Structure 1
Amino acid sequence: MFDLYGGGWTFAWVGPRQHEDWRRDVAAVMALKVTDPRRWKSVNYAPEINENRSGTGSPFMPWSPEQLGESLYEIGRRSAAQLLVALKGEFFQAAGIRDFESRKESLFKSSEEILSRFDPDSLFFTNASEAYGNRDADLLNPDTEWSCLSVYTTDCGLVVVSDAEVGVFWAFFED
């Protein structure tokens, strides 16, 4: 996992699934109101900015479940695995990862390890507009826009929803 989340402006947090409407659980994870039910290490490497526009220690703006649903697009597992890798790169592209070709296998192994935590029937969502209407979008080097959910000027991420847990995996950029 630390191949993908060993520093940089990243966030990786999992919380319990407690509501029928999974968006409520995702909002709780983003607000740092829950802990990982398996006690895995959570990562919040999002640096403070001059003005914390969220009003909390969270890198995310306070979102209602309805607002989250409008900003997230469903994707397939392959796209989710690609996105976890791409989030490590500059501007959320694998092409921006130093020595990507020589590290590709290791990075995808880490991506699959993260996704294996969640059951096979899990759902995956992203804020990358390239996924709007295309569950199988190629998200390794997306040429896209993002519905930003954080206090930063640009962000991109993956939400994973299973029957028992929700995960939020995100990267940020401030220009």
Structure 2
Amino acid sequence: MVDAASWESALFDLYGGGWTFARVGPRRHEDWRRDVAAVMALKVTDPRGWKSINLAPEINEDRSGIGAPFVLWSPEQLEESLYEISRRPAAQLLVALKGQFFQAAGIPDFESRKESLFKSSEEILSRFDPNSLFFTNASEAYGNRDADLLNPDTEWSCLSVYTTDCGVVVVSDTEVAVFWAFWED
């Protein structure tokens, strides 16, 4: 079972060195998209008090208007930009976000690090109950919950203030999480 120390270790293994965002908030509403929007807007904190990461690149102006890396989204707008995926593609994408252009092939020494990176991915996902739902903005997942997202050749419905972004949203009965990476031309 994941605890605060193993969570932090896994989080920093995958998201400690790039333009990334990893944050969990409470699930308070039947419409989980409201809770995800609150996490993206930095309006809530981790209900367990565990570490989060916000290493989004600085830009010359606050395009979000809220000091957060994401645009303010309504629940309806989020629904249009997120596609449901199964656990396996979610685990793949959590790793791939570490690579250049959100691809595992862009991770230096990926083959030798693959096992430890996937261990970190599974550690992160173990926080959430088995009935959790997973979503991404990678269009390759549109209509294909089991898309291979380790090296996606896809487009993204960008949700941030940056030119390109990709991520995973996790929704459990009690928590929601946003794991994201950004690219700015």
Q: Note whether the superposition's TM-score is higher than 0.5.
A: yes
Give ranges in structure 1 of 5+ residues lacking alignment: none
Aligned counterpart, 1:59: 69
| 1:38-117 matches, cutoff 5 A | 38-117=48-127
Q: Deviations over 1:75-124 (max 9, x none)?
A: 00000000000000000000000000000000000000000000000000
Aligned counterpart, 2:23: 13
SS in 2 for 1:111: helix
Q: Following the alignment from structure 2 to structure 1, what is the Cα–Cα distance between the partners of residues 45 and 159?
A: 20
Give ranges in structure 2 of 5+ residues lacking alignment: 1-9
TM-score using structure 1 length: 0.99
The structure 2 residue matched to 1:3, chosen from 13, 33, 38, is 13
SS in 1 for 2:78: helix
The one-letter code of the counterpart of 1:25 is: D
Aligned counterpart, 1:23: 33
SS in 2 for 1:78: helix
Q: Following the alignment from structure 2 to structure 1, what is the Cα–Cα distance between the partners of residues 33 and 17?
A: 27
The one-letter code of the counterpart of 2:56 is: A
The one-letter code of the counterpart of 1:60 is: F
The one-letter code of the counterpart of 1:68 is: L
Aligned counterpart, 1:123: 133
SS in 2 for 1:66: helix
SS in 2 for 1:69: helix
Number of residue pairs aligned between Structure 1 and Structure 2: 175
The one-letter code of the counterpart of 1:89 is: G
The one-letter code of the counterpart of 1:165 is: E
TM-score using structure 2 length: 0.94
Deviation at residue 7 of structure 1 after TM alignment? 1.9
Deviation at residue 47 of structure 1 after TM alignment? 1.9
Q: Following the alignment from structure 2 to structure 1, what is the Cα–Cα distance between the partners of residues 54 and 17?
A: 9
Q: Deviations over 1:18-57 (max 9, x none)?
A: 0000000000000000000011101000021012110111
The structure 2 residue matched to 1:140, chosen from 119, 143, 150, is 150
Deviation at residue 130 of structure 1 after TM alignment? 0.1
Q: Following the alignment from structure 1 to structure 2, what is the Cα–Cα distance between the partners of residues 34 and 145?
A: 29
Query: Percent identity, aligned pairs only?
Result: 88
